[in-house]
């Protein structure tokens, strides 16, 4: 091997700590990009294929009970390819011997073998349940411990308890996908209906369209026509849903989330490149003498440039050896996690060529780009400078004629010290040295601060985003302020329920609500979407809306409603006071929109109208199926206890209770999904923090290495180990503290940016940003810890240097 390449090899392997630092800096960025790019590709390829492979229904109708004959009518309807009917009802179930009930939507499939729409993927146990057997969707397992072969207790409407055998676990990527907040699902055959006291009638239609399965407008046309036909046959359709065959309903959200993660991945690459630039410029400074010697014996710029370029590429190749396999595994892991969370299957482990290529490009280009300037500068240094060890870039500035002069910053430092000393405030000499050392290499300091500050700002803002999202979900809870929602199978007089409920001293308030559904029409009369109309009594204190414009509903409002922001998707210019064409109970009407409020748009469009009007319109004045109950205490545990107690109390008194739900339970699943997203963001934030602290560790080692001679001199004049260690630690801490202060400010725009992206992706609406001291507190602790850790090793190496070694260094 030629001596020049032998030198490159030695540079690579002799200083293992430095090589490791550079290689890990590159590897972190390459890994992050690999994981996200790989997961992005796997998910976008597999999600649609997996979703489509289960032949998802393009149309779902939730309607009155109907029979096989009517299903045949739907099957023959123009534009419908396949149609299957299901009976869906809610039960409460628990494993035998457990006390905690779980609400489950049971889906009855007429013929599992002939099932063609919304296909199930068997995961374990049997694929087809026999009589009195049940298949559980995998989401159920998050709520209860159950496995094939177990027995469940189910509670029926008459309070009787039956047992059912768990035949298998399945995955249903289609049925649950449209309703994010719906209870988990389970499946039985028609034979088992009798066990649940259910009639052999259907209440849902799942249909595919003949053509245009990925054309929402076409599906809507078929749906509108079908719905009209059904309503003409005196069946009422409650809600309708549309889905495209090759697009998972949550695809946009998932892509947006992956987009955010990708942005953070790019940020990590960017930060690691600044770390590499820093390390390489320090390496070149350390190698100044070598460069000088090489130039002295005939080395030209080109040769030296090539040598260091090869060194950079070697760093990149080593980083790729670590990051590419790890990134591939990580990508599949992340994709698998998201797939499980969203209820679809992946097509199997594979290497994603595009992610592989991106990783190789990033791994090779980042060190080249980051190291280009330091290498160019290093190779162009003059022999005189190199041999004399004149380290350009030390704090002193070049005056006219090349003379060093005191920098403005140094002058300020000296002046400040003098002023303090004049007033009797004397900063200890070692601290002064630490302070001065911190600012000696300003280029390096700026890069280190940049990396650490970006890491810190990202970290802090992720906490802010977390609180912002949770606050929003909580504020959405203002639409569900009751502690218990009590639903009955039959309507009861409001006064009767109120009287019974108030007999429990823990109940403080009761309201009966009405419900209705309506179609939102386009101006040409075609159906655009559904709106679920909730009708609390006017002036209800159980709704505290987040108004965007206009007012809330009030007593006396007729054909007036407030509607959620989702309406903007259909009518972008709608304002309070405008009229909206609706189809209510089969009649086309024009309703005045008196206000627009914020809500989670993913849950569909929601409207509010006064109870008096809706109940009278439904001929149900003073009657209600659904009651909102306020109790003495409002925490989740109390709500759960009250729901159980009220459920039992009303059943004992002969009421047909369908379900008693604790008020906060609806929001919990939303909050849980948000936490998963936040944990991803937090992992990325931690990676940025790791890159930042690696930058600091590198800087501190370089600083110590470059000051070997000074440290030796200090030891020679009596500095103890502890003095030297303290000096280095204080310098590291100072950098950490400065970055923290800068991070506090930078976290503000970061928080706004992240919140905007995440909220528009998830809630389809920008939300108010909330700041929490938690992120600041944790980061303050973390940055102190990281700064200390990053400085401990260099400090120990500094303290271990003997005067003899220092002289040898020269």
Partner 1 sequence: MTTTTESLPLIELRNVVKNYQSEAGVFPALKNVNLNIERGEFLGIIGKSGAGKSTLLNMFTGVDALTSGEVIVNTNEESISLHSLNENDLALWRGRTMGVIYQSFQLLPMLTLAQNVMMPMDMSDLYHPRKSRERALELLDMVELIDHAHKLPSLISGGQQQRVAIARALANDPPVIVADEPTGSLDSITADHIFKLFERLVQSGRTIVMVTHDKGLMPRFSRHVEIADGELFSEADRK
**Residue 717 near partner 1 by CB under 8 A:** no
Task: Decide: is 800 part of the binding site for partner 1 (CB under 8 A).
Answer: no
| Residue/partner pairs of 737-742 with CB below 8 Å, 24 or more apart | 737/783, 737/784, 737/787, 738/449, 739/448, 739/449, 739/452, 739/453, 739/456, 739/692, 739/783, 740/456, 740/779, 740/780, 740/783, 742/449, 742/453, 742/456, 742/457
Smallest gap from Cβ 383 to partner 1, in A, equals: 5
User: For residue 764, what are the CA distances in angstroms to 341, 472, 555, 603?
Assistant: 20, 12, 31, 11
Q: Which of residues 447-506 bind partner 1 (CB under 8 A)?
A: none
Written as six digits, the tokens of 708 are 């070997």
**C-beta of 47 vs 294, nearer to partner 1:** 294
Out of 2, 76, 408, 423, the only residue in the binding site for partner 1 (CB under 8 A) is 2
To the nearest whole angstrom, how small is the minimum distance from the Cβ of residue 397 to partner 1? 11
CB of 297 to partner 1, least distance (A): 4
Cα separation, 800 vs 705, in Å, equals 12
Q: Count the site residues for partner 1 by CB under 8 A.
A: 35
Q: Which of residues 4-23 bind partner 1 (CB under 8 A)?
A: 4, 6-7, 10-11, 14
Using the minimum distance from each CB to partner 1, give the nearer residue, 297 or 717: 297
Q: Specify which residues 678 forms β-bridges with.
A: none
Q: What is the DSSP letter of 390?
A: -
Query: Which residue, 405 or 558, is less far from partner 1 as judged by CB?
Result: 405
Q: Which stretch binds partner 1 (CB under 8 A): 47-55, 379-387, 675-683, 718-726?
A: 379-387
Near partner 1 in 255-314, by CB under 8 A = 289-290, 292-303
Site for partner 1 in 84-103 (CB under 8 A): none
Q: Where does residue 34 rank: exposed (0-12), middle (13-18), buried (19+ CB within 10 A)? A: buried
Min dist CB 387 to partner 1, Å, is 7
Q: Residue 752 CB, nearest distance to partner 1 (Å)? A: 49
CB nearer to partner 1: pick between 134 and 284: 284
User: Which of 703, 683, 702, 681 has the alpha carbon at shortest distance from 691?
Assistant: 683
The least CB distance from residue 401 to partner 1, in Å, is 3
If the CB atoms of residues 402 and 718 are measured against partner 1, the closer one turns out to be 402
What is the C-alpha to C-alpha distance for residues 769 and 753, in angstroms, rounded to an integer? Answer: 10
> Strand 237-242 to strand 59-66: parallel, antiparallel, or no bridges (unpaired)?
antiparallel
Q: How far is the CB of 706 from partner 1 (least distance, A)?
A: 17
Ramachandran bin of 799, using left for φ above 0, alpha for ψ from -120 to 50, beta for the remaining angles: alpha
Q: Which is nearer to partner 1, 168 or 292 (CB)?
A: 292
- The nearest distance, CB 400 to partner 1, in angstroms, is 7
Smallest gap from Cβ 5 to partner 1, in A, equals 9
Q: Which stretch binds partner 1 (CB under 8 A): 249-257, 272-280, 383-391, 620-628?
A: 383-391
Q: Which residue in the set 71, 341, 387, 576 belongs to the binding site for partner 1 (CB under 8 A)?
A: 387
Distance in Å, CB of 412 to partner 1, minimum:
18
The answer to whether 561 touches 609, Cβ cutoff 8 Å, is: yes
The smaller minimum CB distance to partner 1, of residues 413 and 772, is found at 413
Counting contacts by CB under 8 A, is residue 384 touching partner 1? yes
Longest dimension (CA), the chain: 104
Looking at the DSSP bridge assignments, the partners of residue 197 are none
**Residues 391-410, mask of contacts with partner 1 (x by CB under 8 A):** --------xxxxxxx-----
- Which residue is associated with the tokens 């923290």? 740
CA distance 728 to 801: 14
Q: What is the DSSP letter of 297?
A: T
- Angstrom CA distances, 485 to 630, 656, 662, stand at 9, 14, 7
Secondary structure (H, E, C), 753-799:
HHHHHHHHHHCCCCCCCCCCHHHHHHHHHHHHHHHHHHHHHHHHHHH
Residue 399 CB, nearest distance to partner 1 (Å)? 7
Contact call for residues 592 and 560 (beta carbons, < 8 A): yes
Taking the complex as a whole, how short is the minimal distance between the CB of residue 380 and partner 1, in angstroms?
A: 8
Structure tokens at 318: 């080593």
Q: Which of 3-11, 241-249, 336-344, 752-760 is the region at the interface with partner 1 (rule: CB under 8 A)?
A: 3-11
Give the list of residues 6+ apart from residue 60 with CB closer than 8 angstroms, or none: 178, 204, 205, 206, 207, 240, 241, 242, 243
**What is the rounded distance in angstroms from the CA atom of residue 43 to the CA atom of residue 50?**
10
C-beta closer to partner 1: residue 348 or 402? 402
Nearer to partner 1 among residue 301 and residue 645 (C-beta): 301
| Closer residue to partner 1, CB minimum distance, 15 or 190 | 15
468's enclosing H/E stretch is: helix 442-476
Closest distance of CB 303 from partner 1, Å = 6
Nearer to partner 1, 297 or 425 (CB): 297
Question: Which residue's CB is nearer to partner 1, number 399 or number 525?
Answer: 399
From residue 600 to residue 619, the character string flagging contacts with partner 1 as x (rule: CB under 8 A) and all else as - is --------------------
Report, in Å, the least distance between residue 311 CB and partner 1. Answer: 12
Please identify, using beta-carbon distances, which residue of 116 and 805 lies nearer to partner 1: 805
- Locate 785 and state its tokens: 């810890």
Least CB distance from residue 794 to partner 1, whole Å?
Answer: 21
Binding span for partner 1 by CB under 8 A among 38-46, 366-374, 376-384, 480-488:
376-384
By C-beta, is 294 or 449 nearer to partner 1?
294
Chain positions 506 to 535 lying near partner 1, rule: CB under 8 A, are: none
Task: Tell me whether residue 768 or residue 805 sits nearer to partner 1 (CB atom).
Answer: 805
Q: What are all long-range contacts of 394-401, with beta carbons under 8 Å and residues at least 24 apart?
A: 394/440, 394/441, 395/439, 395/440, 395/441, 395/442
Residue showing tokens 């390829």: 45
Angle of helix 251-286 versus helix 288-296 axis, rounded to 10: 60
**Residues facing 104 on adjacent strands:** 91
Residues that bind partner 1 (CB under 8 A): 2-4, 6-7, 10-11, 14, 289-290, 292-303, 380, 382-384, 387, 399-405, 810
């Amino acid at each position: 091997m030629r001596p020049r390449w032998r030198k490159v090899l030695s540079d690579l392997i002799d200083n293992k700590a430095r090589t490791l630092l550079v290689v890990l800096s590159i590897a972190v960025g390459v890994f992050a990009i690999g994981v996200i790019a790989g997961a992005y590709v796997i998910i976008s390829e597999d999600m649609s294929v997996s979703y489509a492979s289960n032949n998802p229904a393009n149309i779902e109708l939730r309607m009155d009970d109907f029979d096989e004959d009517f299903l045949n009518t739907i099957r023959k309807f123009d534009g419908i390819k396949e149609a299957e009917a299901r009976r869906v009802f809610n039960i409460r179930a628990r494993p035998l011997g457990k006390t905690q009930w779980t609400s489950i939507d049971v889906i009855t499939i007429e013929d599992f073998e002939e099932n063609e729409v919304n296909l199930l993927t068997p995961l374990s146990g049997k694929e087809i349940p026999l009589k009195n057997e049940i298949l559980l969707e995998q989401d159920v397992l998050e709520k209860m411990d159950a496995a094939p072969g177990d027995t469940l207790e189910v509670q029926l409407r008459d309070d009787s308890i039956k047992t059912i055998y768990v035949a298998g676990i399945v995955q249903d990527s289609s049925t649950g996908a449209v309703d994010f907040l719906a209870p988990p699902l389970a499946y039985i055959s028609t034979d088992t209906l009798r066990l649940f006291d259910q009639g052999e009638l259907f209440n849902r239609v799942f249909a595919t369209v003949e053509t245009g399965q990925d054309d929402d407008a076409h599906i809507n046309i078929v749906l509108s026509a079908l719905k009209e036909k059904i309503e003409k046959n005196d069946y009422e359709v409650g809600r309708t849903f549309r889905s495209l065959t090759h697009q998972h309903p949550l695809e946009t959200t998932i892509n947006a989330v992956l987009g955010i993660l990708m942005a953070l991945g790019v940020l990590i690459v960017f930060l690691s490149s600044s770390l590499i630039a820093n390390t390489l410029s320090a390496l070149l400074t350390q190698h100044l003498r070598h460069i000088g010697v090489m130039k002295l014996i005939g080395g030209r710029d080109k040769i030296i440039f090539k040598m260091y370029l090869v060194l950079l590429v070697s760093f990149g190749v080593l980083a790729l050896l670590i990051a590419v396999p790890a990134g591939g595994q990580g990508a599949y892991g992340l994709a698998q996690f998201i797939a499980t969370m969203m209820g679809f299957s992946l097509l199997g482990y594979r290497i994603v060529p595009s992610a592989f290529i991106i990783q190789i490009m990033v791994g090779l280009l980042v060190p080249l780009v980051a190291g280009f300037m330091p290498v160019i500068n290093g190779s162009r240094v003059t022999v005189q400078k190199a041999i004399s060890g004149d380290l350009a870039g030390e704090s002193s500035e070049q005056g006219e004629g090349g003379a060093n002069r005191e920098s403005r910053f140094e002058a300020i430092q000296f002046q400040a010290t003098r002023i303090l000393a004049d007033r009797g405030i004397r900063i200890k000499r070692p601290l002064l040295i630490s302070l001065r050392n911190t600012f000696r290499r300003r280029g390096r300091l700026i890069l280190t601060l940049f990396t650490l500050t970006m890491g810190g700002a990202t970290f802090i803002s992720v906490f802010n985003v977390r609180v912002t999202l949770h606050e929003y979900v909580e504020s959405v809870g203002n639409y569900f302020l009751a502690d218990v929602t009590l639903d009955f199978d039959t309507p009861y007089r409001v006064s009767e329920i109120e009287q019974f409920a108030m007999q429990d001293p823990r109940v403080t308030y009761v309201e009966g609500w009405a419900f209705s559904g309506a179609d939102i029409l386009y101006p040409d009369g075609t159906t655009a979407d559904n709106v679920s109309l909730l009708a609390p009594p006017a002036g209800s204190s159980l709704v505290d809306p987040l108004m965007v414009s206009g007012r809330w509903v009030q007593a006396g409002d007729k054909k007036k409603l407030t509607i959620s922001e989702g309406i903007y998707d259909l009518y972008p210019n709608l304002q309070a006071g405008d009229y909206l064409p609706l189809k209510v109970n089969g009649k086309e009407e024009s309703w005045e929109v008196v206000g627009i409020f914020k809500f989670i748009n993913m849950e569909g469009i929601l409207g509010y109208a006064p109870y008096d009007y809706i109940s009278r319109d439904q001929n149900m004045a003073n009657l209600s199926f659904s009651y909102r109950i306020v109790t003495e205490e409002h925490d989740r545990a109390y709500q759960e206890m009250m729901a159980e107690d009220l459920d039992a109390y009303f059943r004992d008194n002969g009421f047909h209770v369908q379900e008693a739900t604790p008020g906060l339970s609806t929001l919990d699943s939303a909050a849980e999904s948000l936490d998963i997203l936040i944990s991803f963001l937090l992992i990325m934030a931690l990676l940025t923090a790791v890159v930042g602290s690696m930058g600091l560790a590198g800087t501190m080692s370089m600083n110590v290495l470059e000051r070997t001679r000074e440290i030796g001199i200090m030891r020679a004049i009596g500095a103890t180990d502890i003095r030297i260690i303290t000096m280095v630690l204080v310098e590291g801490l100072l950098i950490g503290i400065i970055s923290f202060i800068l991070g506090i400010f930078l976290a503000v725009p970061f928080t706004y940016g992240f919140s905007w992206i995440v909220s528009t992706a998830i809630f389809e609406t920008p939300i108010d940003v909330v700041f929490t001291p938690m992120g600041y507190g944790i980061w303050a602790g973390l940055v102190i810890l990281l700064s200390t850790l990053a400085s401990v090793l260099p400090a120990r190496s500094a303290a271990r240097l003997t005067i003899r070694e220092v002289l040898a260094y020269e």
